[in-house]
């Protein structure tokens, strides 16, 4: 047999073999040949299918009564929404239950600083002055802001934003406001509160008035202070 006819014969054999074995994506009544079944075809229920095992025959089991989704804070509506439990207004400060649950303010602030840098600073700027790189074009960091035409952003120094309840800041991140997009889908609840804490820290640090420190005059040395140590009275 010549090399060429041998190659042709080999091709025919290969084609026959592959057509009789079939491929995974092909539909047929015969089970596919899987040499190593193992976890390839593990036992499972299809959604909404019938179960012989459970008395109500539902394969989709309802969660055990009292189950709480860990990341939704359903047990703590103030943390979940930033609204007072009776929904009459926003919570004024970050709920204390949240702070204890998340290992204290220092840890929360560190996380908030990082998340703020990712999710807010591009528009609001690292200091919260509303002049982030989305808003301002600059060749050097020290150049003045050249608007790119983005909606103007308020500075966090704005007295209205300084007085805004923490819960409203939280809700602003969750739902967005006017031209600001919502970040509830990207930023989970604990990170939103952490960002709120960091915005508060920014407001305090950026808004400190530049005035010389007040030095308390030393109280005039009284009879106690004057008394010589160990001397004769
Ligand atoms: C895509 C740009 C963009 C990003 C990112 C962004 N913001 Fe804003 N933000 C805006 C704009 C624009 C406004 C002004 C909205 C208006 O008044 O129309 C605004 C306004 C605000 C206000 C003032 C709301 C008010 O009631 O006037 C707060 C507070 C705020 N943003 C916080 C945040 C925080 C916190 C983040 C990060 C989670 C963030 N923003 C991310 C664009 C952005």
pTM value? 0.70
Q: What is the rounded average pLDDT of the residues 57-85?
A: 88
Domain ranges for the chain: 77-205
Question: What are the pLDDT digits (tens) for 180-222?
Answer: 999 999 999 999 999 999 999 999 987 667 677 677 777 665 5
Q: Give 205 Cα–ligand 1 centroid separation in angstroms.
A: 19
Second-level CATH architecture of 77-205: Orthogonal Bundle (1.10)
For residue 147, what are its two tokens?
């608007």
Q: Which of 83, 54, 231 is nearest to 171 (CA)?
A: 83
Separation of CA 137 and ligand 1 centre (Å): 18
Ligand 1 center to 206 CA (angstroms): 18
Residues with CB under 6 A from ligand 1: 119-120, 122-124, 134, 151, 153-154, 161, 169, 172-173, 177-181, 183, 187, 195, 199
Q: 10 Å Cβ neighbour count for 150?
A: 13
Cβ count near 125 (within 10 Å): 21
Spacing, Cα 98 to ligand 1 middle (Å): 23
pLDDT (0 to 100) of residue 231:
45
Q: What angle do CA 173, 176, 179 make, to 5 degrees?
A: 135
Backbone torsions φ then ψ of 50, nearest 5 degrees: -95, 135
List of residues 6+ apart from 66 with CB closer than 8 A: none
């Amino acid at each position: 047999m010549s090399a060429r006819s041998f190659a042709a014969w080999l091709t025919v054999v290969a084609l026959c073999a592959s057509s009789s074995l079939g491929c995974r994506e092909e539909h047929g009544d015969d089970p596919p040949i899987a040499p190593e079944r193992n976890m390839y075809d593990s036992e499972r229920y299809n959604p909404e299918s019938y179960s012989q095992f459970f008395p109500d025959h539902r394969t989709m089991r309802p969660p055990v009564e009292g189950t709480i989704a860990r990341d939704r804070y359903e047990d703590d509506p103030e943390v979940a929404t930033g609204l007072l439990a009776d929904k009459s207004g926003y919570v004024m400060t970050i709920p204390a239950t949240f702070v204890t649950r998340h290992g204290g303010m220092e840890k929360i602030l560190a996380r908030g600083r990082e998340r703020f840098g990712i999710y807010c600073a591009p528009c609001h700027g690292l200091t919260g002055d509303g002049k982030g790189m989305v808003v301002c074009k600059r060749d050097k960091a020290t150049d003045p802001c050249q608007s790119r035409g983005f909606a103007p952003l308020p500075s966090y120094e704005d007295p209205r934003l300084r007085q805004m309840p923490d819960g409203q800041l939280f809700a602003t991140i969750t739902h967005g406001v006017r031209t600001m997009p919502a970040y509830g889908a990207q930023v989970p609840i604990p990170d939103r509160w952490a960002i709120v804490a960091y915005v508060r820290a920014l407001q305090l640090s950026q808004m400190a008035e530049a005035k010389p420190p007040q030095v308390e005059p030393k109280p005039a040395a009284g009879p106690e202070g004057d008394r010589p140590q160990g001397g004769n009275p």
